Amino acid sequence: RNQHQPRQLRRNPVHTAVPIVLGLDQPATEALPSPRILAIHMPYSLLPDSMTSSSCRFVYICRDPKDTLVSMWHFREKTRPKTMEPTPFAEAFEAFCEGTSPVGPMWDHALEYWRASLRSPEKVLFLKYEEMMDEPVGNVRRLAEFMGCPFTEEEEKGGVVEEIVKLCGFENLKNLEVNKVGTQGGPGC
């Protein structure tokens, strides 16, 4: 509990605290202290049994497909090498609709995690991005409970949940200097 103090997000890019893992054969992830918090974009069906049959917990955040497409397109355009030609949005739209993606069709991806959350709600929490934005306090509580770290009465009365929502809010994070000039780091980045 409280392993990552608020100053962590103020001093380091978020991907330092929660590294993005692009593949599961990265030995650097093993070097991280336990318990580990990692971000992955892998379909549930491709996760190894060592993860799905262990005590690992998964939080899947599903977003409106239109918003997912636009966000992915902007991200890819922002991070593409200068030597690579830009991808016209119409081309990205066609590929998205056809399910051409490094992680497979978005529909299958979301459906796998949704089904897993129905089979094993104690292991897989399926959240909708739009609902998180509409009710952030309730969803932070829900996430804490799912992770086995519910807020104490003292924390609730002290406004800890609201502080977390404010600290992790888009407006706050985008205005932090570290997120304007910092670089991603950590395993898989």
Percent residues over pLDDT 90 in the chain: 49
Q: Binning pLDDT at 50, 70 and 90, where does residue 111 land?
A: very high
Name which of 79, 75, 40 is nearest 57 in CA terms.
40
- Looking up tokens 């593949």 gives 23
What is the reported pLDDT for 161? Answer: 95
Say what angle helices 65-79 and 106-119 make with each other, to 10 degrees: 120
Cα–Cα dist 181/183, whole Å: 7
Cβ atoms of 127 and 59 within 8 Å: the answer is yes
What is the reported pLDDT for 185? Answer: 44
- What CATH topology corresponds to 6-68+103-181? Rossmann fold (3.40.50)
Q: What are 67-100's pLDDT values in tens digits?
A: 999 998 998 899 889 999 999 999 999 999 998 8
For the chain, counts of helices (H) and of strands (E): 13, 4
Whole-prediction pTM: 0.80
Q: Is 41 a catalytic residue?
A: yes
Cβ atoms of 125 and 143 within 8 Å: the answer is yes
Amino acid identity of 90?
A: A
Q: Binning pLDDT at 50, 70 and 90, where does residue 175 land?
A: confident
Q: What are 141-159's pLDDT values in tens digits?
A: 999 999 999 999 999 999 9
Residue 145, sorted as left (phi over 0), alpha (psi -120 to 50) or beta, turns out to be: alpha
Mean pLDDT of 14-42: 74
Cα–Cα dist 112/117, whole Å: 9
DSSP state of 22: S
Taking 60 as the threshold, does the pLDDT of residue 184 lie above it? no
102: three-class secondary structure by DSSP: coil
What residues does each domain of the chain span?
6-68+103-181
Name which of 120, 112, 139 is nearest 128 in CA terms.
139
User: Vertex 128, ends 141 and 18: CA angle to 5°?
Assistant: 65
Cα–Cα dist 149/158, whole Å: 16
Taking 80 as the threshold, does the pLDDT of residue 186 lie above it? no
Q: Which of 4, 41, 74, 109 is catalytic?
A: 41
